[in-house]
């Protein structure tokens, strides 16, 4: 029996990437780093395309 595969969205990959960077440069736990990563991505996504 084959194990089910989990498909992760590009957004979740970005959250993981930003979380890893935050954990590398700040003394935060997994949960806090993940919450901060979500906030960082939310802010970046709110910047208009012309400004980015």
Evaluate whether residue 5 is within a structural domain.
no
Nearest to 37 by CA among 19, 14, 13: 19
Assess whether pLDDT exceeds 70 at residue 1: no
How many independent structural domains does the chain possess? 1
Evaluate whether residue 22 is within a structural domain.
yes
Evaluate whether residue 41 is within a structural domain.
yes
Evaluate whether residue 35 is within a structural domain.
yes
Res 49: pLDDT: 83
Q: Which residues contact 44 (CB under 8 A, 6 or more apart)?
A: 52
Assess whether pLDDT exceeds 70 at residue 19: yes
**CA–CA gap between residue 49 and residue 52 (Å, rounded):** 5
Q: Which residues contact 11 (CB under 8 A, 6 or more apart)?
A: 41
Res 4: pLDDT: 79
Question: Using 50, 70 and 90 to split pLDDT, how confident is the model at 31?
Answer: very high
pLDDT > 70 fraction of the chain, expressed in percent and rounded = 98
Range of the domain at 24: 10-45
């Amino acid at each position: 029996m084959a194990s089910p595969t989990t498909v992760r969205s590009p957004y979740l990959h970005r959250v993981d990437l930003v979380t890893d960077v935050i954990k590398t440069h700040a003394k935060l736990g997994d949960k806090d780093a993940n919450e901060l990563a979500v906030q960082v991505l939310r802010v970046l996504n709110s910047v208009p395309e012309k400004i980015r």
